[in-house]
Structure 1
Amino acid sequence: MSEQNGIYKGRARHSTPLVGGSLYLWAGAQIDLPRTLARFHDSHQRRKLVSAVEKFTLSTGRWSSHLTRGTPPLGVVGYYCTTFRSNIYYYGGFCGHDTCFHNSLSVLNTLTMSWTQLHPNDESMMKKAYGGMLSLELDETDYLFIVGGTGPTPAVRHPQFQYEQLEDGVARTNEQLLYNLSNGEFHIK
């Protein structure tokens, strides 16, 4: 763990996307997240700890900490992440206790530092972490493309994808989802 500008760094299994001239660091496995909190699915104290976003401004070489408004996602480790304009999109992730994975989709507006949940956890889709996500435009429509990941064996297996059961009780998949940013709908490809 190191200290820079009063902010303790000691994180793993997170993403640090670039928006404008700044890197944004949210959640991940944190040294300062007490292990007792990791066991709880949701609590006021846990939400408070994961509501801060660290921002590294490239032009100044300085870190700053920003409290956010709204409700951050619960999948704080191994989440999927991509940017589009001034927004950072977060999908899925691992909660940090038991086999608690998520498949919710949230957005952080970096101009207002506020969270909005675009899609709640959904039992009809596999809950997972450690996959990939990118933003793209197809036929003048903006999408998020979500691929792969690991998580609990899904109740619904789609025949066009593979699901491999791993030794630790989770499954690995190559599932592919498209999320339409205009109408808020998921499409399984």
Structure 2
Amino acid sequence: MYSVMEVYHLVTGRWEQIPTTGNPPLGVRSYAAAAIGNEIFYFGGYCGHGDCCHNSLYSFNVDTFNWKELSPTTSRHGPMMKKHCDMIAIKVNGEDYLVVIGGHGPSSNNAPKQPGAQYSDDRNNEIHFYKLSSGDWISPTVTGDRPPPISSFTLTSVDNSSAILFEGLTANGRKLFKVI
């Protein structure tokens, strides 16, 4: 796995490897990504060293090709270290937030469990917000039904108050569809 950026040119149909600046994340797979404006945000992932998962958050500016670490991997804050979660970007009262939901990761060496979340077969249904303006992780109070502990799903924003969670792996098999 490599921490490089490749750009696909639609007009020519060619890939080009572009040098980047800043602090790129360790080469990982199974991370979550979301975009706001000219920034792509990357959360978590798996680096291939045993059960090594991350809960770091990075941004990549597509205009300057610059990486920035926003929140390092640590077991003391934010979501648990995990892979196969998903993330969406939302705006609340004019503020940009990233929302990380679910995922799969080892129950050891992780952040404290989120109140109200469920953990099953190393999957979870945590919901965490990251406020871009302050750099703070927020563990929201969740009302209503959460999705089950789930990993490897697709999460798509519908508007600023709802998203569609589609497919995914649960302890009881595949979950097909959930509006949250």
User: How does the TM-score come out when normalised to structure 2?
Assistant: 0.71
What is residue 95 of structure 1 aligned with on the other side?
47
Deviation at 1:188? 1.1
Give the residue type in structure 2 aligned to 1:181: L
Deviation at 1:75? 5.6
Whether the 8 Å CA contact 2:81–2:111 is kept in 1: the answer is: no
Q: Identity percentage over the alignment? A: 39
Deviation at 1:97? 1.1
Whether the 8 Å CA contact 2:3–2:27 is kept in 1: the answer is: no
Unaligned runs of 5+ in 2: 141-180
Whether the 8 Å CA contact 1:51–1:68 is kept in 2: the answer is: no
Deviation at 1:80? 0.7
Taking the TM superposition and a 5 Å limit, the aligned residue runs for 1:10-49 are 33=1
Whether the 8 Å CA contact 1:75–1:92 is kept in 2: the answer is: no
Deviation at 1:152? 1.1
1:162 matched to 2:109: no
Paired residue secondary structure (1:60): coil
Quick one: structure 1 residues 184 and 66, their matched pair in 2 at CA, closer, same or farther if it must change by over 3 Å?
A: same
What is residue 117 of structure 1 aligned with on the other side?
69
Give the residue type in structure 1 aligned to 2:42: Y
What is residue 94 of structure 2 aligned with on the other side?
140
Aligned-residue CA RMSD in angstroms? 1.4
Deviation at 1:93? 0.4
Whether the 8 Å CA contact 2:3–2:26 is kept in 1: the answer is: no
Paired residue secondary structure (2:21): coil
Unaligned runs of 5+ in 1: 1-32, 34-49, 166-170
User: How does the TM-score come out when normalised to structure 1?
Assistant: 0.68
| 1: CA distance, partners of 2:27 / 2:124 | 18
Deviation at 1:130? 0.5
Q: Deviations over 1:79-122 (max 9, x none)?
A: 11011111110000001111110001000111111110001112
Which range is displaced more, 72-81 or 89-98?
72-81
**Hey, which bits of structure 1, 4+ residues long, moved more than 4 A?**
none
1:176 corresponds to which of 119, 127, 139: 127
User: Whose helix fraction is larger, Structure 1's or Structure 2's?
Assistant: 1
Paired residue secondary structure (2:34): strand
Quick one: structure 1 residues 118 and 155, their matched pair in 2 at CA, closer, same or farther if it must change by over 3 Å?
A: closer
Quick one: structure 1 residues 106 and 135, their matched pair in 2 at CA, closer, same or farther if it must change by over 3 Å?
A: same
What is residue 130 of structure 1 aligned with on the other side?
84
Give the residue type in structure 1 aligned to 2:90: L
What is residue 20 of structure 2 aligned with on the other side?
68
| 2: CA distance, partners of 1:134 / 1:155 | 21
Give the residue type in structure 1 aligned to 2:135: G
Aligned length: 136
| 1: CA distance, partners of 2:36 / 2:9 | 18
Paired residue secondary structure (1:115): strand
1:77 matched to 2:29: yes
